[in-house]
Structure 1
Amino acid sequence: MIEARGLTKHYGKTLAVNDLSFDVAPGEVTGFLGPNGAGKSTTMRMILGLDNPTSGQVTIGGKRYTELKNPLRTVGALLDAKWVHPNRSARAHLAWMAKSNHIPARRVDEVLDIVGLTSVAGKRAGGFSLGMSQRLGIAAALLGDPEVLLFDEPVNGLDPEGILWIRKFMHRLADEGRTVFVSSHLLSEMALTASNLVVIGKGKLISQSTTKEFVARASENTVKVRSPQLAKLRSLLPADSATDTDDGILVSGLDSEKIGELAASNGIVLHELSPQTGSLEQAFMQITGDSVEYHTGLETEARHALEPAN
């Protein structure tokens, strides 16, 4: 269990994390989402004791990271896949980490096998591709067989087979009762991987919920309507509640029952009346839109297109 309470971090005049509180429970994969500059990396660094909070605290199993004896046995983390001496072999890199935390040497070959690097274990890590470096970073996180695992962008550089592997692997870790906390910009992948989400923006908590609840919250009361009498129907709807699509309209703020009753009472024929299920990407853009530091023109246009009319 990871517990953050009132985490705040200032870098000079910059407020990177602002009174942030959340929990990450064992037995589930929890996604950590937020726009660029939201404070995700700073938060992960504070969890691992690499940065000290200005105020507040974060504990792992009730203890701060700095209080853990042989911390690799409790917490495994992948924050920077290239954090490896380029002249060390993959096996040598893991061997010194194991020795520093009194982990049996045999564990090195076990984790190399788990991540599929046995055949290149003796090669210099500096010659690894990004995908291979990611696998080595994951091996390092698993080295102490920890109960808590943190991954920052773990699928970077992986091919589709590798992405599928890491998704299944994280599910397996969670099924074993471990705490798995994953930050990623690949929202489509997070939708398949994480059952829970912690979403932040500008250093503050925006949402902590299940993934299904987060998506449902953004797509609530949005209904697609097709009709040969759209103009008449639109005139009866609340102002600015309808948005044009290629073959109909999206109506927000009314559920399908109310729209159907309105159409029936006015003799309007309907060809489709279907509540919409949003995607994680749509929900993320809608809910975090006000927390993005910088918008390009295309991003602003896309965000407005996904927002329901008010």
Structure 2
Amino acid sequence: MIQVRGLTKAYGPTKAVDNLTFDVRPGIVTGFLGPNGAGKSTTMRMILGLDNPTAGTATINGKKYAELKQPLRHVGALLDAKWVHPNRSARSHLRWMAATNGIPASRVDEVLELVGLSAVGKKKAGSFSLGMSQRLGLAATLLGDPEVLLFDEPVNGLDPEGIRWIRMFMQQLASEGRTVLVSSHMLSEMAQTAEHLVVIGKGQLIADTTVDEFVERASGATVKVRSPQADALRTALTSHGLTVREDGASTVESPSLLVVGTTTEAVGDIASQNRITLHELAAQRGSLEEAFMKLTGDSVEYHGVGVDTAGGVH
């Protein structure tokens, strides 16, 4: 488990991280989200002892990183995929890391096989594509078979098959009872990968919740209902104080409505009481991207100009 308590990092009058407190629990993938400049990388560096906090603590299974003996056996981290001497082969790089932590050399070939790099293990890392470098970085995180894993943008440079493989691999690691923390800007991918989210903005905690709760908090409860008696249904719903909007996908042949701030059960009960036929009744769920943009909008450090559909700016 990773425990962060009151973690703060100040550079002069500016706080890159401001009194953060959260836990990263084993057994699930936790997504670490925030706009650019939110303090995600700084937080991860403090967890790993690469930066010293101005205040607060970050511990791994109850200990600071510096207190861990043979830390690669406890923690694996991928913060920078290109942090490899370009003239070293993938195998030499991993053998050097293994030797520093008393890890058998045989483990090197095992992790190269796990990440699909066995065939290029003797090639210089400087010749690797970004996707191959990401796989080598992942191999390094797994070298000591650690209980805790941290990944910063692990899918950069990967093709769709590689992204899917990384997602399933991280979920497999979590299912084995490991603690997995993943920072990423690919929100559609995080929606499929993570179960829990820690969201920060301007160094402060915005949310520490499940993916479903985060999306629901932003989008609210909306129900889509389709009926050949749409007018009667609208009247019945509004008479119960519900807000009803037109569904953009509604057609004359198949009219549908969006009911805000309610549940499918409530809409179904009202329709039944009024003997109104329903052809569709479904809860509407927003996307993680929409929820993220709504809840972190005030925390974005830099805003670009708008672009209209004609290609102009405003």
Bigger shift: residues 151-160 or 289-298? 289-298
> 2:31, 2:182 within 8 Å by CA — same for their partners in 1?
yes
Letter in 1 for 2:95: A
2:169 alignment partner, SS class: helix
1:245 aligns with 2:263: no
**What's the CA shift for 1:72?**
0.8
- Give 1:11's aligned residue: 11
Q: Output the CA distance in 2 between the equivalents of 1:72 and 1:137.
A: 13
Give the match for residue 53 of structure 2: 53
Letter in 2 for 1:285: M
Residue 253 of structure 2 corresponds to which residue in structure 1? none
- Other structure's SS at 1:52 match: coil
The alignment status of 1:277 with 2:285, answered yes or no, reads: yes
CA contact under 8 A between 1:233 and 1:268: conserved in structure 2? Answer: no
> 1:78·1:138 contact (CA, 8 Å) conserved in 2?
yes
Counterparts in 2 of 1:189 and 1:11: CA distance versus 1, 3 Å:
same
- TM-score scaled to structure 2, two decimals? 0.84
Shift of residue 210 of structure 1?
1.7
SS of residue in 2 equivalent to 1:119: helix
Partner of 1:124: 124
Residues 242, 181 of structure 1: alpha-carbon distance in 2 compared, 3 angstrom cutoff? same
**Pair 111,288 (structure 1): closer, same or farther in 2 beyond 3 Å:** same
Instruction: Tell me, yes or no, if the aligned pair for 2:233 and 2:271 is still in contact at 8 Å.
Output: no
In the TM superposition, residue 37 of structure 1 has moved relative to its aligned partner by: 1.3
1:97 match: secondary structure: helix
Paired residue type of 1:245: G
Match for residue 31 of structure 2?
A: 31
The offset of 1:283, in angstroms, is: 1.9
1:29-56 deviation per Cα after TM superposition (whole angstroms, max 9, x unaligned): 1111111111111110000011111100
TM-score (norm 1): 0.85
Match of 1:206 in 2: 206
Q: Deviations over 1:122-180 (max 9, x none)?
A: 11101100000000000011111111000011111111111111111111111111111
More moved, 208-217 vs 264-273 = 264-273
- For 2:297 and 2:241, how far apart are their aligned partners in 1? 24
Structure 2 CA distance for aligned equivalents of residues 288 and 216 of structure 1: 15
Q: CA RMSD in A?
A: 3.0
Instruction: Return 275-284 or 237-246, whichever deviates more.
Output: 237-246
Do 2:237 and 2:267's aligned partners in 1 also have CA atoms closer than 8 Å? Answer: no
| Counterpart contact for 1:198–1:205, Cα < 8 Å | yes
2:43 corresponds to which residue?
43
Residue matched to 2:2: 2
Q: 1:300 to 1:38 in 2, by over 3 A?
A: farther
SS in structure 1 at match of 2:32: strand
- Consecutive unaligned residues of structure 2, counting only runs of 5 or more, are 251-255, 310-314
Amino acid at match of 1:47: I
Secondary structure, aligned partner of 2:158: coil
Distance in structure 2 (CA, Å) of the matches to 1:267 and 1:173: 51
Q: Secondary structure at the match of 1:285?
A: helix
Paired residues for 1:291-306 under 5 Å: 291-298=299-306
- In the alignment, the residues of structure 2 paired with residue 32 and residue 299 of structure 1 have an alpha-carbon distance, to the nearest angstrom, of 29
Q: Which amino acid aligns with 2:248?
A: T
Q: How far apart are 1:209 and its partner, in Å?
A: 1.5
Aligned partners of 2:110 and 2:104: how far apart in 1?
A: 11
1:94 counterpart residue number = 94
Aligned residues: 301
Distance 1:144 1:175 in 2: 18
- Name whichever of 279-288 and 8-17 sits farther off: 279-288
Q: 1:104 to 1:272 in 2, by over 3 A?
A: closer
SS in 1 for 2:102: coil
Offset, 1:242: 4.5
Quick one: which amino acid aligns to residue 141 of structure 2?
A
Alignment partners' CA distance in 2, 1:265 and 1:291:
46
Q: Which amino acid aligns with 1:24?
A: V
- Look up the equivalent residue of 2:198 and give its one-letter code: V
